[in-house]
Structure 1
Amino acid sequence: MKMHITSAAAGFLLLAGIGAAAAEDVVIAPEQETVIKEYVHKQPLASVKLPGVQLSIGSTLPDTVELHEVPNVKYRYVVVDNRTVIVDPGTRKIIKVIE
């Protein structure tokens, strides 16, 4: 009986963790992504190098990286290794990498 309770508790914690991770996902509406891509194309930035920083969703950019505004969009962007990186300015976490 004790083993079943422990397994059930572990399963619940695992599911709770998955739900919390999913809640952090940020989805950019296709219209917003189009606006961002067009703006970035018209306002090109020099690409920066960030050794040791993985360009993956959820990674945090260092404070030394300057984030650039897109009018009427709450997210910011920067170009890293010739890829446009969309960032949540509050957390500095990467929410999308546009190739």
Structure 2
Amino acid sequence: MRKLLNIAVTGFYLLGATGVTFAQTVVVTPEQETVVREYVKKKPIASINLPGVELNVGSALPDTVELHTIDAPDVQYRYVVIDNRTVLVDPGTRKVVRVLQ
């Protein structure tokens, strides 16, 4: 009985860890990406340089970087233009969720 309980606990642990991984996955729909691209074209901002910061999904931006609001429904992210690339950022974590070319 104890062995069965250990197996069950291990299984629930693995399921929980998998659930956490899925919860951290950010999905930017094609519709959202289109809205963002159109918004950025209409309201361009100056590109900034961030030496030493890699623009990868999951990278956190420093607090000194001003994040700009996207005034569109269903878009919860903010944006900034770094090295002439539009970067979508989760405002709560300041992590990059998408780099648009």
- What is the TM-score when the length of structure 1 is the normalising length? 0.79
Match of 1:6 in 2: none
AA matched with 2:64: T
Q: Deviations over 1:7-62 (max 9, x none)?
A: xx7xxx88865653343110011111100000001111111011111100000000
Q: Please give the alpha-carbon distance, in whole angstroms, between the structure 1 residues aligned to 2:57 and 2:16.
A: 20
AA matched with 2:33: E
Match of 1:21 in 2: 21
Matches within 5 A, 1:1-99: 20-72=20-72, 73-99=75-101
What secondary structure is seen at the aligned counterpart in 2 of 1:62? Answer: coil
AA matched with 2:41: H
Q: In 2 relative to 1, CA 42–51 (structure 1 residues): closer, same or farther, beyond 3 Å?
A: same
4+ long deviations beyond 3 Å: 13-22
**Count of residue pairs the alignment pairs up:** 94
Q: Which runs of 5+ in 2 are unaligned?
A: 1-9
